[in-house]
Amino acid sequence: MRPDMQCIFITFSIIPFFYGTTTAQSDELPTLALSEDDTFNFDILGPLGQSVYSGGDIAPILRAAKQLEPGNFTSFTNAFYALANETKAQAEDPKYAYDQVNVRETWFHAAQYFRRADNYLHDDWSDPLIYTLWEEQTSAFDKAIAALPIPGERIQVFTDDFTIEGIWYLSTNKEAAHRPTLILSNGYDGSQEDLYHTVVVPALARGWNCLTYEGPGHPTVRRNQDLGFIYDWERVLNPLVDYLLLNRAEDIDESRLVSFGFSFGGYLAARAAAFEPRLAAVILDGGIMDVHEAFMGQLSEELVEIYDAKNKSAFDAAVLPLLKNPEAPSQLRWGLAQGLWAFKIQSPFEWLESVRSYNIKDVVDRIQMPVWIANAEAEGFFPGQPQKVADALGERATLHNFTGAAAYHCQSGAFTELSRVLFAWLNETLN
């Protein structure tokens, strides 16, 4: 029996699915709704939130938002692609090229809008825009970081199996020779460029160095090396710590290396910390114990039944058509499309099977350093998971519960509050 599609939709629409969503329905949103489509609301709030740290300008984003039709992914791509083109033309205007402040601000904004235009394309892996928009965002971002007072520097760290892509930001703090250093990973869909406008700017302002990076499954490595996510993330983090100790010894305080995982990066950073004793502390925004459990908790009973019967063809036949169905909730379509693409698995059934390995249960005892964990009250991606990680870690964990305006997944739109709380904990913990 084919499952009742209506029932699948209802289940998915009541409990939104992946990064890019909140659990709240529109009348329960923590903020003014920017779209009737909750997922578009979140994806407009994202760049608005980053704009306080040079990641965009408010009226242009709201003008793009005005052109969106709920559930119409093409309208999202077109609105932000047009804005990106326009902003790129402004960045290229020779009249303002004398002004380094303008150069970096305008290129940062153009990069942001190219990234947003890419957000809803991944249901079709062969869409050439997935590559052209990313080349545009990378090139724009590179022009921006080259115009910083201390330019950001692209680095690569080679392993036997893949190349890690990173950006090194040296602290502007000249008082101390050796500065504390954050090593930052994004999650399910976010890029290392996004991290600049969420955590790197406030970290640099507080005297930290930052190394952002992307490993398998992350935007650049997925595109350029054709690699999906791996569960054993220490294969990415260990070489980065080696790199810092070897190549940045003059600038870092070796006793204050901190790993930061954003969103799904909350699993990745926790897993890696179990195999990286050289870290002084770990930040999980938010904490994730068991990815498979969290994903299964979002399925309708009918789908769970087909999945548990291990009927791959029936499960895939029920799920795959949702990708192209404009009637299906945006968060479901987006989450599925992004997950299959980023893990590089065509079959939803096989994808869910593969995430069984993304579980820190067996390694959590090996995490020996202090861990700060964010819980977001309106979390839609991994509700309940931060508490589980905190319980498993016991005294090593500090759980912070974000509510009110900061209640969105990853404190989207409230990054000042995030950094206020986060850096106070680091200051107290590392002293």
Site map for ligand NAG, 182-201, x if CB under 6 A?
--------------------
Closest CA to 192 of 249, 126, 142: 142
Site map for ligand NAG, 377-406, x if CB under 6 A?
x---------x-------------x-x---
By beta-carbon proximity to ligand NAG, the closer residue of 74 and 159 is 74
- Residue nearest ligand NAG by beta-carbon distance: 314
Q: Which listed range, 42-50, 56-64, 69-77, 340-348, lies at the site for ligand NAG (CB under 6 A)? A: 69-77
Minimum CB–partner distance for residue 427 and ligand NAG (Å) = 4
Q: How many residues bind ligand NAG (CB under 6 A)?
A: 20
Q: Are 147 and 177 in contact (CB under 8 A)?
A: no
Minimum CB–partner distance for residue 377 and ligand NAG (Å) = 5
Contacts (Cβ under 8 Å, ≥6 apart) of 328? 9, 12, 322
Q: Are 398 and 370 in contact (CB under 8 A)?
A: yes
Residues 136, 223: Cα–Cα separation, whole Å: 14
Minimum CB–partner distance for residue 161 and ligand NAG (Å) = 35
C-alpha distances out from residue 247 to 148, 236, 250, Å: 21, 17, 8
Residues 301, 245: Cα–Cα separation, whole Å: 50
Instruction: Pick from 330, 354, 375, 411 the residue near ligand NAG by CB under 6 A.
Output: 375
The verdict on 227 binding ligand NAG (CB under 6 A) reads no
- Residues in 196-225 that interact with ligand NAG by CB under 6 A: none
Minimum CB–partner distance for residue 74 and ligand NAG (Å) = 4
The verdict on 126 binding ligand NAG (CB under 6 A) reads no
Q: Which listed range, 79-87, 151-159, 186-194, 240-248, lies at the site for ligand NAG (CB under 6 A)? A: 79-87
Residues 419, 429: Cα–Cα separation, whole Å: 15
Amino acid at 127: D
- Residues in 289-348 that interact with ligand NAG by CB under 6 A: 309, 311, 313-314
- Residues in 84-113 that interact with ligand NAG by CB under 6 A: 85
CA 295 to chain centre: 17
Q: Are 153 and 167 in contact (CB under 8 A)?
A: yes
Q: E strands, 217-280, where?
A: 252-262
Instruction: Tell the burial category of 138 from Cβ atoms under 10 Å away from its Cβ (0-12, 13-18, 19+).
Output: buried
Q: Where are the alpha helices (DSSP H) in 93-226?
A: 100-118, 129-146, 192-195, 201-205, 219-224
CA 420 to chain centre: 20
The verdict on 69 binding ligand NAG (CB under 6 A) reads yes
By beta-carbon proximity to ligand NAG, the closer residue of 13 and 387 is 387
The verdict on 416 binding ligand NAG (CB under 6 A) reads no
- Per CB under 6 A, residues contacting ligand NAG are 69, 72, 74-75, 78, 81-82, 85, 309, 311, 313-314, 375, 377, 387, 401, 403, 427, 430-431
